[in-house]
Protein backbone atom coordinates (compact mmCIF):
# COMPACT_ATOMS: atom_id res chain seq x y z
CA UNK A 1 0.00 0.00 0.00
CA UNK A 2 1.82 3.07 -1.29
CA UNK A 3 -0.70 5.29 -3.09
CA UNK A 4 -2.92 7.27 -0.73
CA UNK A 5 -5.64 9.71 -1.78
CA UNK A 6 -6.95 12.31 0.67
CA UNK A 7 -10.28 13.95 -0.15
CA UNK A 8 -10.42 17.49 1.26
CA UNK A 9 -7.55 19.94 1.73
CA UNK A 10 -8.88 21.62 4.87
CA UNK A 11 -7.46 21.42 8.37
CA UNK A 12 -7.82 17.66 8.76
CA UNK A 13 -7.22 16.79 5.11
CA UNK A 14 -3.95 18.66 4.75
CA UNK A 15 -2.79 17.26 8.10
CA UNK A 16 -3.52 13.70 6.95
CA UNK A 17 -1.80 14.32 3.61
CA UNK A 18 1.22 15.79 5.43
CA UNK A 19 1.46 12.77 7.73
CA UNK A 20 1.30 10.18 4.95
CA UNK A 21 3.70 12.11 2.70
CA UNK A 22 6.23 12.55 5.49
CA UNK A 23 6.10 8.79 6.09
CA UNK A 24 7.10 8.12 2.48
CA UNK A 25 3.70 7.45 0.88
CA UNK A 26 2.68 8.89 -2.49
CA UNK A 27 -0.25 11.19 -1.76
CA UNK A 28 -2.93 12.60 -4.04
CA UNK A 29 -4.66 15.57 -2.39
CA UNK A 30 -8.10 16.22 -3.87
CA UNK A 31 -10.39 19.22 -3.41
CA UNK A 32 -13.02 20.90 -5.54
CA UNK A 33 -11.07 24.17 -5.86
CA UNK A 34 -7.44 24.93 -6.61
CA UNK A 35 -7.61 27.75 -4.06
CA UNK A 36 -8.39 25.25 -1.28
CA UNK A 37 -5.56 22.99 -2.42
CA UNK A 38 -3.12 25.92 -2.49
CA UNK A 39 -4.12 26.86 1.07
CA UNK A 40 -3.69 23.27 2.17
CA UNK A 41 -0.25 22.94 0.60
CA UNK A 42 0.77 26.29 2.11
CA UNK A 43 -0.27 25.04 5.56
CA UNK A 44 1.74 21.85 5.08
CA UNK A 45 4.78 23.93 4.09
CA UNK A 46 4.45 26.17 7.15
CA UNK A 47 4.06 23.18 9.47
CA UNK A 48 7.17 21.58 7.97
CA UNK A 49 9.04 24.86 8.50
CA UNK A 50 8.09 24.75 12.19
CA UNK A 51 9.50 21.24 12.40
CA UNK A 52 12.73 22.44 10.76
CA UNK A 53 12.95 25.29 13.28
CA UNK A 54 12.63 22.74 16.10
CA UNK A 55 15.32 20.61 14.39
CA UNK A 56 12.94 17.66 14.04
CA UNK A 57 13.44 17.43 10.27
CA UNK A 58 15.83 18.84 7.66
CA UNK A 59 15.24 20.98 4.56
CA UNK A 60 15.78 17.82 2.51
CA UNK A 61 13.01 16.09 4.50
CA UNK A 62 10.66 18.98 3.77
CA UNK A 63 11.40 18.81 0.04
CA UNK A 64 10.89 15.06 -0.04
CA UNK A 65 7.57 15.37 1.82
CA UNK A 66 6.23 18.03 -0.56
CA UNK A 67 7.48 16.07 -3.58
CA UNK A 68 5.38 13.12 -2.38
CA UNK A 69 2.16 15.15 -2.79
CA UNK A 70 0.25 15.65 -6.04
CA UNK A 71 -2.95 17.67 -6.21
CA UNK A 72 -6.16 17.21 -8.16
CA UNK A 73 -9.46 19.06 -8.53
CA UNK A 74 -11.06 16.03 -10.21
CA UNK A 75 -12.03 13.19 -7.88
CA UNK A 76 -11.90 10.45 -10.57
CA UNK A 77 -8.38 11.52 -11.57
CA UNK A 78 -7.25 11.70 -7.96
CA UNK A 79 -8.42 8.22 -6.95
CA UNK A 80 -7.75 6.12 -10.07
CA UNK A 81 -4.50 4.63 -8.71
CA UNK A 82 -5.34 4.68 -4.99
CA UNK A 83 -4.71 1.79 -2.62
CA UNK A 84 -6.44 3.73 0.16
CA UNK A 85 -8.69 6.79 0.09
CA UNK A 86 -9.19 8.84 3.25
CA UNK A 87 -12.19 11.17 3.01
CA UNK A 88 -11.78 14.29 5.16
CA UNK A 89 -14.62 16.52 3.98
CA UNK A 90 -16.99 18.55 6.16
CA UNK A 91 -18.87 16.62 8.86
CA UNK A 92 -22.09 16.44 6.83
CA UNK A 93 -23.81 13.13 6.18
CA UNK A 94 -25.30 13.96 2.77
CA UNK A 95 -21.96 15.27 1.50
CA UNK A 96 -20.08 12.20 2.74
CA UNK A 97 -22.59 9.82 1.15
CA UNK A 98 -22.25 11.66 -2.16
CA UNK A 99 -18.45 11.53 -2.01
CA UNK A 100 -18.40 7.83 -1.10
CA UNK A 101 -20.63 6.98 -4.06
CA UNK A 102 -18.18 8.81 -6.34
CA UNK A 103 -15.17 7.16 -4.67
CA UNK A 104 -16.74 3.72 -5.06
CA UNK A 105 -17.45 4.31 -8.75
CA UNK A 106 -13.99 5.67 -9.58
CA UNK A 107 -11.50 3.83 -7.35
CA UNK A 108 -9.88 0.45 -8.12
CA UNK A 109 -11.90 -2.52 -6.88
CA UNK A 110 -9.27 -3.46 -4.28
CA UNK A 111 -9.04 0.08 -2.85
CA UNK A 112 -9.98 0.58 0.82
CA UNK A 113 -12.34 3.51 1.45
CA UNK A 114 -11.81 5.27 4.78
CA UNK A 115 -13.51 8.25 6.36
CA UNK A 116 -12.13 10.67 8.93
CA UNK A 117 -15.60 11.26 10.33
CA UNK A 118 -15.66 11.97 14.05
CA UNK A 119 -19.25 10.87 14.67
CA UNK A 120 -21.18 9.58 11.61
CA UNK A 121 -22.01 5.87 11.26
CA UNK A 122 -19.47 3.91 9.21
CA UNK A 123 -22.17 1.32 8.48
CA UNK A 124 -24.46 3.98 7.01
CA UNK A 125 -21.66 5.38 4.84
CA UNK A 126 -20.62 1.88 3.68
CA UNK A 127 -24.20 1.07 2.65
CA UNK A 128 -24.01 3.43 -0.36
CA UNK A 129 -21.01 1.56 -1.80
CA UNK A 130 -20.61 -1.78 -3.55
CA UNK A 131 -17.75 -2.71 -1.16
CA UNK A 132 -19.00 -2.30 2.44
CA UNK A 133 -16.38 -4.83 3.57
CA UNK A 134 -13.69 -2.35 2.49
CA UNK A 135 -15.14 0.73 4.24
CA UNK A 136 -13.67 1.79 7.60
CA UNK A 137 -13.28 4.82 9.86
CA UNK A 138 -9.89 6.45 10.46
CA UNK A 139 -10.56 9.27 12.92
CA UNK A 140 -7.35 11.27 13.19
CA UNK A 141 -6.95 13.93 15.90
CA UNK A 142 -6.07 17.57 15.24
CA UNK A 143 -3.27 18.58 14.67
CA UNK A 144 -2.74 15.36 12.73
CA UNK A 145 1.08 15.46 12.38
CA UNK A 146 1.44 15.77 16.18
CA UNK A 147 -1.41 13.84 17.79
CA UNK A 148 -0.73 10.11 18.21
CA UNK A 149 -4.24 8.68 18.42
CA UNK A 150 -6.23 7.29 15.51
CA UNK A 151 -9.67 5.87 16.26
CA UNK A 152 -10.22 2.89 13.97
CA UNK A 153 -13.94 2.24 13.52
CA UNK A 154 -15.16 -0.85 11.74
CA UNK A 155 -18.66 -0.83 10.29
CA UNK A 156 -21.06 -3.76 10.45
CA UNK A 157 -19.56 -5.31 7.29
CA UNK A 158 -15.92 -4.20 7.57
CA UNK A 159 -13.68 -7.25 7.13
CA UNK A 160 -11.03 -8.41 9.58
CA UNK A 161 -8.45 -8.14 6.80
CA UNK A 162 -9.23 -4.47 6.16
CA UNK A 163 -9.27 -3.67 9.87
CA UNK A 164 -5.90 -5.33 10.43
CA UNK A 165 -4.43 -3.58 7.39
CA UNK A 166 -5.52 -0.14 8.62
CA UNK A 167 -4.33 -0.84 12.18
CA UNK A 168 -0.86 -1.77 10.87
CA UNK A 169 -0.83 1.17 8.47
CA UNK A 170 -1.60 3.58 11.32
CA UNK A 171 1.37 2.20 13.23
CA UNK A 172 3.58 2.78 10.16
CA UNK A 173 2.61 6.46 10.46
CA UNK A 174 3.89 6.51 14.03
CA UNK A 175 0.35 6.60 15.40
CA UNK A 176 -1.37 4.57 18.10
CA UNK A 177 -4.54 3.03 16.64
CA UNK A 178 -7.44 2.11 18.91
CA UNK A 179 -10.24 -0.06 17.55
CA UNK A 180 -13.70 1.06 18.64
CA UNK A 181 -17.25 0.07 17.72
CA UNK A 182 -19.55 1.94 15.35
CA UNK A 183 -21.84 4.01 17.59
CA UNK A 184 -22.53 7.76 17.30
CA UNK A 185 -19.54 9.79 18.47
CA UNK A 186 -17.43 6.61 18.82
CA UNK A 187 -15.32 7.04 22.01
CA UNK A 188 -13.48 10.37 21.68
CA UNK A 189 -16.44 12.59 20.92
CA UNK A 190 -18.98 10.58 22.91
CA UNK A 191 -17.01 11.64 25.99
CA UNK A 192 -15.60 14.99 24.85
CA UNK A 193 -18.67 16.65 23.33
CA UNK A 194 -20.98 16.27 26.36
CA UNK A 195 -18.21 17.86 28.46
CA UNK A 196 -17.92 20.79 26.04
CA UNK A 197 -21.71 21.09 25.89
CA UNK A 198 -21.91 21.10 29.71
CA UNK A 199 -19.27 23.85 29.84
CA UNK A 200 -21.42 25.89 27.44
CA UNK A 201 -24.51 25.18 29.59
CA UNK A 202 -22.55 26.36 32.64
CA UNK A 203 -21.81 29.64 30.86
CA UNK A 204 -25.40 29.87 29.54
CA UNK A 205 -26.78 29.49 33.07
CA UNK A 206 -24.51 32.21 34.44
CA UNK A 207 -22.58 29.99 36.83
CA UNK A 208 -19.25 31.48 35.71
CA UNK A 209 -17.57 33.33 32.84
CA UNK A 210 -15.60 31.92 29.92
CA UNK A 211 -12.13 32.35 31.40
CA UNK A 212 -13.27 31.16 34.83
CA UNK A 213 -14.74 27.93 33.41
CA UNK A 214 -11.63 27.21 31.34
CA UNK A 215 -9.27 28.03 34.20
CA UNK A 216 -11.10 25.67 36.58
CA UNK A 217 -10.73 22.82 34.09
CA UNK A 218 -7.09 23.61 33.29
CA UNK A 219 -5.86 24.05 36.85
CA UNK A 220 -8.31 21.75 38.62
CA UNK A 221 -8.45 18.87 36.13
CA UNK A 222 -5.00 19.25 34.49
CA UNK A 223 -6.53 19.80 31.05
CA UNK A 224 -4.03 21.48 28.69
CA UNK A 225 -6.84 23.62 27.23
CA UNK A 226 -10.19 24.65 28.68
CA UNK A 227 -13.35 23.16 27.09
CA UNK A 228 -14.59 26.49 25.69
CA UNK A 229 -11.23 27.31 24.12
CA UNK A 230 -11.04 23.77 22.77
CA UNK A 231 -14.51 24.17 21.26
CA UNK A 232 -13.29 27.33 19.49
CA UNK A 233 -10.34 25.42 18.04
CA UNK A 234 -12.48 22.47 16.93
CA UNK A 235 -15.05 24.82 15.43
CA UNK A 236 -18.39 25.53 17.11
CA UNK A 237 -20.20 24.43 13.94
CA UNK A 238 -18.37 21.09 14.08
CA UNK A 239 -19.24 20.68 17.76
CA UNK A 240 -22.90 21.38 16.95
CA UNK A 241 -22.90 18.85 14.09
CA UNK A 242 -21.39 16.13 16.27
CA UNK A 243 -23.85 16.76 19.11
CA UNK A 244 -26.75 16.63 16.62
CA UNK A 245 -25.49 13.31 15.26
CA UNK A 246 -25.31 11.86 18.77
CA UNK A 247 -28.69 13.31 19.77
CA UNK A 248 -30.30 11.87 16.62
CA UNK A 249 -28.54 8.54 17.10
CA UNK A 250 -29.27 7.96 20.79
CA UNK A 251 -32.47 10.03 21.24
CA UNK A 252 -31.07 10.95 24.66
CA UNK A 253 -31.59 14.55 25.86
CA UNK A 254 -28.14 14.62 27.47
CA UNK A 255 -26.69 15.03 23.96
CA UNK A 256 -29.00 17.92 22.98
CA UNK A 257 -26.86 20.95 22.07
CA UNK A 258 -27.08 23.97 24.36
CA UNK A 259 -29.20 26.82 22.91
CA UNK A 260 -26.22 29.17 23.32
CA UNK A 261 -24.13 26.97 21.00
CA UNK A 262 -26.94 26.87 18.44
CA UNK A 263 -27.34 30.65 18.50
CA UNK A 264 -23.60 31.31 18.24
CA UNK A 265 -23.31 29.09 15.16
CA UNK A 266 -26.35 30.73 13.55
CA UNK A 267 -24.74 34.13 14.24
CA UNK A 268 -21.58 33.03 12.43
CA UNK A 269 -19.44 32.84 15.57
CA UNK A 270 -17.72 29.54 14.89
CA UNK A 271 -14.49 29.98 16.85
CA UNK A 272 -10.98 30.42 15.48
CA UNK A 273 -12.04 29.85 11.86
CA UNK A 274 -14.43 32.84 11.93
CA UNK A 275 -12.30 35.06 14.17
CA UNK A 276 -14.69 34.90 17.10
CA UNK A 277 -16.26 32.27 19.33
CA UNK A 278 -16.03 32.18 23.10
CA UNK A 279 -12.81 34.16 22.61
CA UNK A 280 -11.91 36.93 20.17
CA UNK A 281 -9.36 35.90 17.52
CA UNK A 282 -9.72 38.97 15.29
CA UNK A 283 -6.72 40.89 14.00
CA UNK A 284 -7.72 43.94 16.06
CA UNK A 285 -7.72 41.84 19.22
CA UNK A 286 -4.29 40.42 18.35
CA UNK A 287 -2.98 43.96 17.83
CA UNK A 288 -4.44 45.02 21.18
CA UNK A 289 -2.69 42.14 22.96
CA UNK A 290 0.65 43.03 21.34
CA UNK A 291 0.21 46.69 22.29
CA UNK A 292 -0.60 45.80 25.90
CA UNK A 293 2.41 43.52 26.06
CA UNK A 294 4.71 46.40 25.09
CA UNK A 295 3.14 48.64 27.73
CA UNK A 296 3.99 46.22 30.55
pLDDT tens, position by position, 248-272: 999 999 999 999 999 999 999 999 9
Average pLDDT over residues 153-173: 98
- Where does CATH 3.40.50.720 sit in the chain? 3-181
Per-residue pLDDT at 282 exceeds 90: no
Per-residue pLDDT at 11 exceeds 90: yes
Cβ proximity of 229 and 279 under 8 Å: yes
Q: Residue 20, Cβ neighbours under 10 Å: how many?
A: 27
d(CA 79, CA 72): 9
- Percent pLDDT > 70 in the chain is 96
Average pLDDT over residues 17-43: 97
Sheet with 135-140, edge to edge strand ranges? 69-72, 26-30, 3-7, 84-87, 112-115, 135-140, 149-154, 176-180
pLDDT tier at 247 (50, 70, 90 boundaries)?
Answer: very high
Report the range of poorest mean pLDDT among 53-57, 86-90, 232-236, 289-293.
289-293
Q: What is the pLDDT of residue 229?
A: 97
DSSP 158-171: --HHHHHHHHHHHH
Q: Is 11 annotated as a binding residue?
A: yes
- Where does CATH 1.10.1040.10 sit in the chain? 189-290
Per-residue pLDDT at 47 exceeds 90: yes
d(CA 60, CA 82): 26
Q: What is the pLDDT of residue 283?
A: 72
Is 55 an annotated catalytic residue? Answer: no
The average confidence (pLDDT) of the chain is 95
- Annotated catalytic residue within 18, 47, 139, 274: 139
d(CA 73, CA 231): 31
Q: Is 118 annotated as a binding residue?
A: yes
DSSP 23: T
Per-residue pLDDT at 117 exceeds 60: yes
How far lies 67's CA from each of 26, 36, 79, 90, 161, in Å? Answer: 9, 18, 18, 26, 31
Is 151 an annotated catalytic residue? Answer: yes
Q: Is 165 annotated as a binding residue?
A: no
d(CA 77, CA 54): 37
- Annotated catalytic residue within 3, 68, 106, 118: 118
What region, left, alpha or beta, does residue 190 occupy, with left being phi > 0 and alpha being psi -120 to 50 degrees?
Answer: alpha
Check if CATH label 3.40.190.10 holds for domain 3-181.
Answer: no
Q: What is the pLDDT of residue 277?
A: 98
Check if CATH label 1.10.1040.10 holds for domain 189-290.
Answer: yes
Q: Residue 37, Cβ neighbours under 10 Å: how many?
A: 21
Per-residue pLDDT at 291 exceeds 70: no
pLDDT tens, position by position, 92-106: 999 999 999 999 999
- Percent pLDDT > 90 in the chain is 94
Is 118 an annotated catalytic residue? Answer: yes
Q: What is the pLDDT of residue 285?
A: 63
Is 223 an annotated catalytic residue? Answer: no
- Annotated catalytic residue within 151, 197, 241, 276: 151
d(CA 268, CA 88): 22
d(CA 37, CA 50): 20
Average pLDDT over residues 180-199: 96
Give the per-residue SS3 of 175-242: CEEEEECCCCCCCHHHHHHHHHHHHHHHHHCCCCCHHHHHHHHHHHHCCCCCHHHHHHHHCHHHHHHH
Residue among 60, 68, 11, 61 at smallest CA distance from 40: 11
Amino acid sequence: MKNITVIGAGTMGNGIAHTFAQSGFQVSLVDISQESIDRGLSTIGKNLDRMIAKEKISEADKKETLDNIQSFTSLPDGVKNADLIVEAATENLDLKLKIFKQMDESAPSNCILATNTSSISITQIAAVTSRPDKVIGMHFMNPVPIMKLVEIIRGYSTSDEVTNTIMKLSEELGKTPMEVNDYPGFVANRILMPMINEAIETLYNGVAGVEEIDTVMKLGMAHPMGPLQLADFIGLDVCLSILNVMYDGFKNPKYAPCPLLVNMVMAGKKGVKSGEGFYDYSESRKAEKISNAFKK
